[in-house]
Amino acid sequence: MADIPPRPEPFLQRTDPAAIDDLRARLRGTRWPDAPEDAGWSLGTDLTYLRELVAYWADEFDWSAREAALARLPRFRVGIGGLGIHFVHARAAATPAGTAPAMPLVLCHGWPDSFWRYSKVIPLLTDPGAHGADPADAFDVVVPDMPGYGYSDRPSGPPLDTVAVAGLWAELMSVLGYERFGTSGGDMGSHVSRYLALDHPDRVVAVHRTDAGVPVFTGDPADLTPEERAWFDEVTAWLAAEGGYGAMHRTKPQTAAFGLTDSPAGLAAWIVEKLLSWSDCGGDIERSFTKDEILTNVTLYWLTGTIGSSMRAYHANAAIPREQLTRRVDVPSGFSLFRGDVVRPVRAWLDRTANVARVTEPPRGGHFAPFEEPELYAEELRAFFRPYRAAVTG
């Protein structure tokens, strides 16, 4: 008997009210740490801000309204690789006669988020004509939650690295009937997109990324350009000042998971500090995210219990062989290096590691650009992928 292909099923999440009652009780019972006077954000999450956020979370935040808004996205679950994978599959509005069909595009998120990262930008990509752009630039958009994130299953055994996740997404696109497609990602999703292009170059027509990750170079340092060496020094300094979270995730993620899974205030502190540090908010987090937007992301982590499994992905990625990390991407590659992002690569490094077709530096936005600046991000994708649309049917 032939294997029966997996069949996506519509997904609708309705949270048990008892889970929200428990969350609010925990928030109201938070045991707060002390902090030095006027420390602000200099030592990590600001105590005054977090007290304000937690009070709002406990007494005013309307999760049911946010859940209903997310439910308006076309969401599904499907079994792939022995795991239930949650994803958004939003089909394009009709494209004008005489133009190429809508381009399939898989969007790959990172940490600390989920499909939430792309929730604002999806309608701008599927129906550009309704948002003042060219209808011919429409995409069929697929946004999966990585295993151990959001509403996808948590691996019961070893966590999956980004190479394995890329393999799952290639299979997901086959299940959805897309033989050729584009991909875009940031943070850990940048690596997933990279491995999609590396391991499936016959299927990925072009790859777009908002970063190039932390550089790995195994050659003679003398072969690096001066700007590359200066950038390596910048990355080293950034890791020393800001990389403590990553060291914990790579080495002892389970230790941190106990406290973060038990304390919603602790979970918020762990995530919110990164939303501030990595966004283009100028030190005022609510320039980039409203309280409701922040708490939607954090509440997704709380209700799904995925902070531990999401951190374990770093442990898996730390074991990826160096020969994988140094492979060059031959698929046409585009980079949008948003102003407020971290460890922004230099052009010489991009040319060394990828077949660069386009590099831009948008004037606003940071690490979470699809959420911070959805209009800018959507235009970056439209412009980059425009020359490759015909290739999806070639």
Determine phi and psi for 367, rounding to 5 degrees.
-60, -30
Which residue(s) pair with 359 in the sheet?
335
- What pLDDT score was predicted for residue 2? 42
pLDDT at 310: 98
Closest CA to 207 of 394, 390, 393, 388: 388
Task: Give, in order, the Cα–Cα distances in Å from 26 to each of 66, 72, 343.
Answer: 20, 29, 36
Please give the Cα distance from 265 to 298 (Å, whole number).
Answer: 10
Q: Which parts of the chain sit beneath pLDDT 50? A: 1-2
Is residue 337 exposed (0-12), middle (13-18) or buried (19+ Cβ within 10 Å)?
A: buried
Q: Dig out the tokens for 370 from the structure.
A: 């699809």
187 catalytic per annotation: yes
> Which candidate in 118, 149, 314, 377 is catalytic?
314
- In this structure, the number of other CB atoms found within 10 A of the CB of residue 293 comes to 18
Helix (H, G, I), strand (E, B) or coil at 224: coil
Dihedral Cα 93, 98, 104, 105, nearest 10 deg: -80
Residue-wise pLDDT for 107-149, tens only, equals 999 999 999 999 999 999 999 999 999 999 999 999 999 999 9
Using CA atoms, how far apart are residues 207 and 190, in angstroms rounded to an integer?
9
Residue 160, Cβ density class (10 Å: 0-12 exposed, 13-18 middle, ≥19 buried): buried
Lookup result for tokens 């033989």 = 179
Q: How far apart are CA 28 and CA 6, in angstroms?
A: 44
- Return the half-sphere exposure (C-beta side, CA atoms, 13 A cut-off) of residue 324: 16
Q: Give the active site residue among 89, 367, 377, 388.
A: 367
| Domain definitions of the chain by residue range | 45-393
What CA–CA distance (Å, rounded) separates 217 from 232? 10
Q: Residues of 25-46 as b/e, b for ≥16 C-beta within 10 angstroms? A: ebbeebeeeebeeeeeeeebbb
- Residue located via tokens 């599904």: 76
Amino acid letter, residue 212: A
Is residue 314 among the annotated active site residues?
yes
One-letter amino acid for residue 24 of the chain: R
Instruction: Assign domain 45-393 to its CATH superfamily.
Output: Alpha/Beta hydrolase fold, catalytic domain (3.40.50.1820)
Give residue 239's identity as a one-letter amino acid code.
L
Q: Alpha-carbon distance 381 to 139, whole Å?
A: 10
pTM for the predicted model, two decimal places: 0.96
Q: Which of 187, 211, 280, 341 is catalytic?
A: 187
User: What is the distance between the alpha carbons of residues 255 and 269, in angstroms, rounded to a whole number?
Assistant: 16
